Amino acid sequence: MSEQLLKNTGKLSGFFLRRDRLRIPIWLLSITALTLAIASYFTNLYPTAQEREAIAATMENPAMIAMVGPGYGLDNYTFGAMMAHQMLLLTAVAVGIMNILLVTRHTRSDEEAGRIEMIRSLPTGRLANLSAAIAVLFGTNGFLALAVGFGLFALQIESMDLFGSLLYGAALGATGIFFTGLTALFAQLTSSSRGTTGLSISALLLAYLIRGIGDVSYEALSWLSPFGWILKSEVYVNNYWWPILLTLGVSLFLVILAFYLNRIRDLEAGFLPAKPGRKTASPLLQSPLALMIRLQRTSIIAWAIGLYVLGASYGSVMGDLEDFFDKNEALQQLLKPVPGFSLTEQFIPLLMTIMAIISTIPTLMALLKLSSEEKKNRTESLLALAISRTRLLGSSFVVAVATSLIILSCAVIGLWSAGAATMDEPISLGTYYKAALVYLPAIWAMIGLTVLLIGIAPRWTNLTWAYLIYSFVVVYLGRLLEFPEWMSNLSPYGHIPQLPVEEMDFMNISFVTLVALGLTIIGFIGYNRRDIYG
């Protein structure tokens, strides 16, 4: 019986580990390193109990509770309590995503690509593939739990003892195992890897969301979410282990259900009915522009929501910003006081730089979609129709420019709406908007550069990402680390006036816009002259 079901699970597990010999270590290393780095960063940022008390006070607003969870031990805000409060939930989300991606990769993705068919044609058990995937991920999560647990303890930070640190690691590992089980189950229900990832990520977001609502208003709701459970372990404060056991128990149930469903279904079938798509195209889908929008709408909407949330999370701390700066020397270094402006107002340009640079990411992705279409040999089908190259590149260009405007607006609206809710004297939407819109020419310069690369150096389009990272480092971190000015002048973001603190500078803005225009024009000419690869 078990021969029939599980034969060669061990060998398959070894094979998965080999296929993931870089992927899994990179995930583990990133999550562990980030956790340890932030724990030690906290000790530098808030060295005294007084400073920690100040930050604890800013945590008691609904926006923060919704975002990072209810604070335990706020009255005695030790480093441990701070870590468990501010980092545990967000890290658990990252661990959840890791598990969703890895499980899908080894279950539905392989099945969809016909690779499991080949595995099954060999003398392997019917459930060997699923059990190997689950075994590998259980091991990965277990390893993560121990690495984080012992790693945190090894930092020897006061209030972070061995028992608490191991519980912190175990909370992450248990969340991971829960999402392994959930994704394994969804991999049986849906019949495509996209469906599996989509359903699992939706479940993760839903779990995060209902826990947020539960923690803020109606506590019983939090009991429906695995994130709610693990936060109840109150790591470093009361150190309860039962939430870990609860999470593992439910995970085990999910895994058993997944095995059962896998056993009774056909290969490449799913339990959820695949709904038939449109038989004919919508009347709107009749231009390359419409196609580009159609192909990217989900990703653009997701980024818009993401940037709104990012803006809102910055906005939610706006009200407490003055207190925050008063009591913290590290943050004061970031901003040199300017007479006539409040600290909050001075904080705006810094936020706008970050949000403008982040908004550039989906913008460039929208443009570079054309490159990936070319690599997948689909541009050929379009150019074989009565579509000129100028029109094709122009469509991507229009989508990119529109994306920059939409995404940046969402970030600003998020910042403004959450800011207005928490501040005694809210800053007007207009002030925020002006400070954000001046960054559009810099984003357009990045668009121009990307069009140029697509037009004349299509194999080097990734350079644009390197330049964006450079811009982020010199313009944002440059302030902290005091880089020489010419370094930030090499980035378009360095030429943008810092509204509302600085005066509007039309010279600089026009200069950046003209550069953007020039690059774009050369790019279009190049695209009309070169070969299309594929």
Residues that bind other proteins (CB under 8 A): 192, 194, 274, 276-282, 285-288, 291, 294-295, 376-378, 380-388, 529-532
Residue with tokens 């394994």: 184
**Do residues 94 and 31 lie in contact, with contact meaning Cβ atoms separated by under 8 Å?**
yes
**Do residues 35 and 91 lie in contact, with contact meaning Cβ atoms separated by under 8 Å?**
yes
Closest CA to 172 of 22, 23, 34: 34
List CB contacts of 444: < 8 A, sequence separation 6 or more. 401, 404, 512, 513, 516
Q: What is the smallest separation between the CB atom of 380 and other proteins, expressed in angstroms?
A: 6
State how far the alpha carbon of 9 is from the alpha carbons of 121, 125, 135, 467, in Å: 14, 8, 9, 46
Report the distance separating Cα 359 and Cα 286, nearest Å: 28
CA angle 506, 508, 514 (to 5 degrees): 95
Which ranges in 327-428 belong to alpha helices (H)?
329-334, 343-375, 379-383, 389-422
Choice between 126 and 530, CB closer to other proteins: 530
**Do residues 240 and 232 lie in contact, with contact meaning Cβ atoms separated by under 8 Å?**
yes
Choice between 390 and 489, CB closer to other proteins: 390
**Do residues 461 and 450 lie in contact, with contact meaning Cβ atoms separated by under 8 Å?**
yes
Tokens standing for 226?
Answer: 């695995």
Q: What is the smallest separation between the CB atom of 290 and other proteins, expressed in angstroms?
A: 8
Q: What is the smallest separation between the CB atom of 461 and other proteins, expressed in angstroms?
A: 19
Report the distance separating Cα 372 and Cα 365, nearest Å: 10
Choice between 49 and 281, CB closer to other proteins: 281
Q: What is the smallest separation between the CB atom of 166 and other proteins, expressed in angstroms?
A: 44
Q: What is the smallest separation between the CB atom of 104 and other proteins, expressed in angstroms?
A: 15
Q: What is the smallest separation between the CB atom of 184 and other proteins, expressed in angstroms?
A: 22
Q: What is the smallest separation between the CB atom of 289 and other proteins, expressed in angstroms?
A: 11
Choice between 252 and 281, CB closer to other proteins: 281
Choice between 241 and 533, CB closer to other proteins: 533
Choice between 142 and 394, CB closer to other proteins: 394
Choice between 186 and 314, CB closer to other proteins: 186
Tally the residues of the chain: 534
Choice between 11 and 297, CB closer to other proteins: 297
Residue 75's φ and ψ, nearest 5 degrees, are: -75, -25
Which ranges in 20-87 belong to alpha helices (H)?
23-45, 49-58, 62-68, 79-86
Please report, as a single letter, which amino acid is at residue 407: I
Q: What is the smallest separation between the CB atom of 246 and other proteins, expressed in angstroms?
A: 38
Tokens standing for 502?
Answer: 């600085």
Q: What is the smallest separation between the CB atom of 282 and other proteins, expressed in angstroms?
A: 8
Choice between 33 and 281, CB closer to other proteins: 281
